Structure 1
Amino acid sequence: MDIQLEKISEKEAKTKPDQNSLGFGRHFTDHMLVMPYTEGKGWHDLTIQPYRNFSLDPAAMVLHYGQAIFEGMKAYRGKDGGIYLFRPADNIERMNISAARLCMPQLPVDEVLVALKELLRLDEDWIPTAKGATLYIRPTMIATEAALGVRPAKQYLFFVILSPVGAYYPEGFNPVKIYVTDKYVRAVPGGVGHIKTAGNYAASIMAAVEAQQAGFTQVLWLDAVERRYIEEVGTMNIFFVIGDEIVTPPLGGSILPGITRDSVIQVAKGWGLNVVERRITIDEVLAAQENGSLKEIFGTGTAAVISPVGSLHYKGQDCLINNGETGALSQRLFDEIQAIQYGAKEDPYGWVIRV
């Protein structure tokens, strides 16, 4: 598929933000990637064009029936000046799993990656050089057919936008405070908890807002049936270091199969550490804290990479983790994965692609 290119003029170029106060998701680059899909024709007219508004029919099916999926990945500026991507094909392949679950069309992975690299080269000057800052990449697919009636749409739009970002959490790489909710649930077995669909995040907002109003950074979700078994944090998978085990909930259809989660498992196992994927209850975690076997908790995700957890709040009680400090394993994993992502360390897994 040929890539059509429409570049902005010099006078249309945006003023780039201060790299030391980027925040997350507030600024967007000059260009974006757009590719429509039409039933019977497939994907067509792959275009890199100026970042601009879309025009949607009020009957666009995404607005009524929620066929919307997305991914999150990053581009990193290495110390050698190179641009690096971390497991981008895995993200696009995971997007295809999301698409299949919502009866949306499959993306041509190789062609999307070629186009993504072209987009990154075009907006290369937007990739931050400040420590800890990156270029966040947001691929998205929505149903655009103008029609009412619950069925798969016949027209879709795939697009990629870019955003220079700093740390996802205001705390940066410092322990966060997590609120454990047994009032709301995120996903159920057989549902769509294992995919990145917009509705999952819409449904999580109320719990997140209530937690933030109470002074917490994020919500830890329990299972929807018994409300005992730990699933994941709103924006991260979760790990517990208990005794000589690193425990994380298993993938069972209600947990997102995180790319960073998988990376952590592979790295930790490569170090000879005992990683166990099993069901774990909130009561077990609190008991481990009580008897001293809980050493640390950390979350994993594209946005934050590794996020140490300093405390859990459950049923009115606060549980301090590792004296509220970053654990040694959290720090080691963060340093290792960041070094690989930035091309500063040998990549034995074949995860990194230089643009």
Structure 2
Amino acid sequence: MSQTTPAALTRVGHGDMFTDHMISSIWTGPDGWRPAELVPLAPIPTHPGTLGVHYAQVIFEGLKAHRQEDGSIAVFRPWENARRFQRSARRLAMPELPTEMFVDAIERLVAADESWLPVGDDELSLYIRPVMYGSEPNLMLRPSEEYRFLVLAFLAGGFFGDLPAPLSVWVSRTHSRAMPGGTGDVKCAANYGPSFMAQQEAAAAGCQQVMWLDSAERRWVEEMGGMNLFLVRGEGPRAELVTPKLTGTLLPGVTRDSLLALAARMGYRTRQERISIDQLRAGCESGVVTEMFACGTAAVVTPIGILRDAKGEWTVGDGQAGPTTMALRDRLVDVQHGRSPDPDGWLHPVRLPGTVR
């Protein structure tokens, strides 16, 4: 049963209100993947010499389940997350998890813990975290010969608060998130810990997020913290939606891909191109760039109002959430909650206890 109360729901943040269960499975070379088990959420004993802990052989995903208008629950695009999980596994020399096993694990967990998600609150969702790590107790410098796959979930509110104010963003010119030939285009744990120093630098400069530039020239805009980003050129129905081109050093986000498809259906022009930081600043100062926003599973669509670096700061548009940004956010949320058409089959309905499908 849900442990949430009306008072607790007023304090929902991101990442600490875990649900009651988890999914667990083990892989070994001789046997492959064992059948996944639904078990109570509990600490897992870990050997001090666990290979994945020492050598960062850890991958994960993030996706959400949302209440629908009729009270049912659907997971947003789990098959795409399953395929990205496989790409991450290949990059880190880990066994691939079958897509059907990935999606079934998510469905079982959501069905077990669906009572955590109240009806009628668009700002709350179940954030689902699949993770796989090398679990063999061995410190030889090689891929693990045993892996554990887990799926856990937590009740999530807005990552930056409900309908957040525009973000202020620090442009990092000293730290890099990824390099060509590295792991920037997969979702592995080793991408995230090293980013915390730059995030602290951003906070010290009075900013909420950090923007990454490429590691070779420190010229090209890539992504923001753990989020993709978009800018808007122009206004109204002729507005053009632009996002940095995938170059192998930034993550191909599921929300990013969804917004490109939705924007095209809404009549906006879309582009994927390399964007230099100088070009971005000039576009903001001239008024060509009218809006910017971050996007991701956690961030959904969050407007950006100010960009800042060691040389000064500049404002995006009027510094407020723009109409194109909010129109895209509304359309995405409506699709996720089943209020708008879903022609691509992005919603995966979950069979809840006591229902027939």
Do they superpose with TM above 0.5? yes
Cα distance, 1:254 vs structure 2: 0.4
For residue 96 of structure 1, what is the amino acid of its counterpart? Q
Structure-1 residue corresponding to 2:229 = 238
> What are the within-5 Å matches in structure 2 for residues 197-276 of structure 1?
197-243=188-234, 244-276=239-271
For residue 16 of structure 2, what is the amino acid of its counterpart? R
2:27 aligned residue (12, 19, 37):
37
Structure-2 residue corresponding to 1:296 = 291
CA contact (8 A) 1:68 1:141 kept: yes
Whole-Å separation in 1 of the counterparts to 2:228 and 2:123 = 21
Structure-2 residue corresponding to 1:181 = 172
Structure-1 residue corresponding to 2:58 = 68
Cα distance, 1:111 vs structure 2: 2.2
Structure-2 residue corresponding to 1:126 = 116
Structure-2 residue corresponding to 1:314 = 309
> What are the within-5 Å matches in structure 2 for residues 56-205 of structure 1?
56-129=46-119, 130-170=121-161, 172-205=163-196
Cα distance, 1:21 vs structure 2: 1.5
1:214-247 per-residue CA deviation (whole Å, 9 max, x = no partner) reads 3211100000000010000012111111244322
Whole-Å separation in 2 of the counterparts to 1:172 and 1:156 = 39
For residue 241 of structure 1, what is the amino acid of its counterpart? V
Cα distance, 1:274 vs structure 2: 1.6
5+ residue gaps, structure 2, are: 351-357
CA contact (8 A) 2:4 2:116 kept: no
Whole-Å separation in 2 of the counterparts to 1:18 and 1:171 = 15
Cα distance, 1:171 vs structure 2: 6.6
Structure-2 residue corresponding to 1:23 = 13
CA contact (8 A) 2:109 2:152 kept: no
Structure-2 residue corresponding to 1:277 = 272
For residue 291 of structure 1, what is the amino acid of its counterpart? S
- The 4+ residue runs of structure 1 with deviation greater than 4 A are 13-17
5+ residue gaps, structure 1, are: 1-9
Q: State whether structure 2 residue 319 is matched by structure 1 residue 324.
A: yes
1:227–1:171 Cα change, 3 Å? farther
Q: How many residues align?
A: 344
More displaced, 77-86 or 192-201? 77-86
More displaced, 268-277 or 176-185? 268-277
Cα distance, 1:170 vs structure 2: 3.5
Cα distance, 1:108 vs structure 2: 1.2
Whole-Å separation in 1 of the counterparts to 2:272 and 2:260 = 9
Secondary structure at the residue paired with 1:56? coil
Secondary structure at the residue paired with 2:192? helix
Cα distance, 1:49 vs structure 2: 0.2
The alignment's TM-score, normalised by the length of structure 2, stands at: 0.93
More displaced, 208-217 or 156-165? 208-217
For residue 21 of structure 1, what is the amino acid of its counterpart? R
More displaced, 264-273 or 178-187? 264-273
CA contact (8 A) 1:181 1:314 kept: yes
1:305–1:109 Cα change, 3 Å? same
Whole-Å separation in 2 of the counterparts to 1:291 and 1:30 = 52
Structure-2 residue corresponding to 1:350 = 345
Identity of matched residues, % = 40
Whole-Å separation in 1 of the counterparts to 2:122 and 2:245 = 33
Secondary structure at the residue paired with 1:18? helix
1:95-152 per-residue CA deviation (whole Å, 9 max, x = no partner) reads 1100000000101111221232122111110123333111110000010011112211
For residue 319 of structure 1, what is the amino acid of its counterpart? W
Whole-Å separation in 1 of the counterparts to 2:65 and 2:103 = 13
Secondary structure at the residue paired with 2:171? strand
The alignment's TM-score, normalised by the length of structure 1, stands at: 0.94
1:68-95 per-residue CA deviation (whole Å, 9 max, x = no partner) reads 0100001101221010111011011101
